[in-house]
Structure 1
């Protein structure tokens, strides 16, 4: 029988293998996630701070980048660019958040100012109508409403109470009284104004080749402008004078209705005023205050 104490002792050491190499793929995935989140929050910031014009420019660029790059467009880039492109220079130091907030505040103040002017005008005409029989009769021919361009004041003809003498731009005395009252109210706000004349569809004997409703509506609008200035309106506040002939009737079912003969005075909001300046070929950099703009008269 062998002696077990003499047997060699064998010690087995088990080496534990390490984890397999992952290759760092998780780091790339995490970096992509962080980048995507940063882009998302940057997009949210831009949507909340960039003006509407610049947003439209960005949208136009992604929809058709070649056209915007070659022709420009609203909000397409710097205002100083030789290529026509609306909006402010995106390289300016002033922050977009600050500018966007200021624009919204100005627009809100503008709307509030025009709404207060509407209420003030209605109260004044109510008071004047009680003390003046002519204005009392004329009250129903005044129409006030808020439109996209601002506060619109329309003075329409009635069957037996026209604003002007038949076929002429000579104002009736009571029409002058109303325009004088309007003039004093318009000076209470800094907004510019636009005037337009309208006729019914009754044509002159010469037709469009002679003196027509186009000339008549334009002359009546300009005669109203002169009376407003005579009544105290600052003449620099008039930004546009138009004649529309019988193209925009109030009563589309009866184009001969007297109410289609009217003068429309629009107290312009900031956006409408800027649109008119842009249409006349004036950008933001060329625009001067309303006090330095002469009336745009039809040729």
Structure 2
């Protein structure tokens, strides 16, 4: 019994050893799974929104990619293909550039740059024409004598040539559309020069603000229009092709050259506009006719009567 009382007490301590850290490998696996699912759904969306012809091209490309790449064609780096790339520079947006003939449907054009280039070429041509007319005036003794009555400048409509009156040297007979001899010679020379350019021509007649009304109602409007048309005839007589004239108008005293003095003789003038392409297109668009279908003349007539407020017979 005495031995039992002296028995030592043993205390057992259990030391728990934690498992080693796995390093978060499951996160990488999960990220790969999510990426794969996103790619899968993206592929399904692309396949669902792609035309059947494009699908066949993609299938052919993946079936024999090397053959398509070497032989060329619509599946090899073409700018219109679903699969981009190819060529010497992989960063190019349009992809591969073929050495042979390029399908016109695959070409791209910068419309704004083309328009700017055409406008610049036209402006250079009009400036050259202006310089040529000025040279003709200098070398021609007759025109040089009337140099002060011819004004040349470039406007938004094109090259403007103005032949103006002077106090003691009018272009036309008083209150008439009869061209004076020196004006006829000026217009004949200008007509010959203007026929060398492809641009269309517009003419406008102007008067000063001096009132002019005859018993028959003939006013500055009719007078300016008749003078413009008389100038057109002299240009044609000088060599200008008649089909180059696109517009002949009379503006009376509506657009003075000297706005400070509406009675200044320089306001009586003829303006010749060598039109640029934009002005020519605008005039032709304004003069475009409205076509009425030939199979419906009765309906067109009734519509015209209704618009005029006349009764329409049923």
Q: CA deviation at 1:24?
A: 7.1
Matches of residues 85-96 of structure 1 in structure 2 within 5 Å? none
Q: Aligned residue for 2:154?
A: 146
Matches of residues 142-291 of structure 1 in structure 2 within 5 Å? 142-206=150-214, 210-281=217-288
Q: What TM-score results when the alignment is normalised by the length of structure 1?
A: 0.63
For the aligned residue pairs, the C-alpha RMSD in angstroms reads 3.3
- For residues 144 and 187 of structure 2, the distance between their equivalents in structure 1, rounded to whole angstroms, comes to 15
Question: Contact 2:159–2:273 at 8 Å: present in 1 too?
Answer: yes
Matches of residues 69-148 of structure 1 in structure 2 within 5 Å? 97-128=109-140, 131-132=141-142, 135-148=143-156
SS in 2 for 1:227: helix
Q: CA deviation at 1:16?
A: 5.2
Q: CA deviation at 1:206?
A: 3.4
Q: CA deviation at 1:138?
A: 1.4
Report the count of equivalent residues: 214
Q: CA deviation at 1:280?
A: 1.6
Deviation track 1:100-155 (CA, whole Å, cap 9, x = no partner) reads 33222211110000000000100110111xx33xx333110000000000000000
- For residues 126 and 183 of structure 1, the distance between their equivalents in structure 2, rounded to whole angstroms, comes to 17
Task: Call closer, same or farther: CA 1:276–1:253 in 2, change over 3 Å.
Answer: same
Q: Which has the higher contact order (CA 8 A, sep 6+)?
A: 1
Q: What TM-score results when the alignment is normalised by the length of structure 2?
A: 0.61
Task: Call closer, same or farther: CA 1:182–1:16 in 2, change over 3 Å.
Answer: same
Deviation track 1:2-32 (CA, whole Å, cap 9, x = no partner) reads 899x98775432555848789979x9xxx9x
- For residues 245 and 231 of structure 1, the distance between their equivalents in structure 2, rounded to whole angstroms, comes to 26
Q: CA deviation at 1:243?
A: 0.4
- For residues 199 and 282 of structure 1, the distance between their equivalents in structure 2, rounded to whole angstroms, comes to 31
Task: Call closer, same or farther: CA 1:96–1:218 in 2, change over 3 Å.
Answer: farther
- For residues 284 and 106 of structure 2, the distance between their equivalents in structure 1, rounded to whole angstroms, comes to 24
Q: Does 1:13 align with 2:13?
A: no
Structure 2 spans left out of the alignment, 5+ residues: 1-7, 43-103, 291-314
Structure 1 spans left out of the alignment, 5+ residues: 32-91, 284-299
Q: CA deviation at 1:251?
A: 1.1
- For residues 96 and 148 of structure 1, the distance between their equivalents in structure 2, rounded to whole angstroms, comes to 30
Deviation track 1:188-224 (CA, whole Å, cap 9, x = no partner) reads 11000110000011122438x7000000000000000
Question: Contact 2:213–2:220 at 8 Å: present in 1 too?
Answer: no
Q: CA deviation at 1:228?
A: 0.4
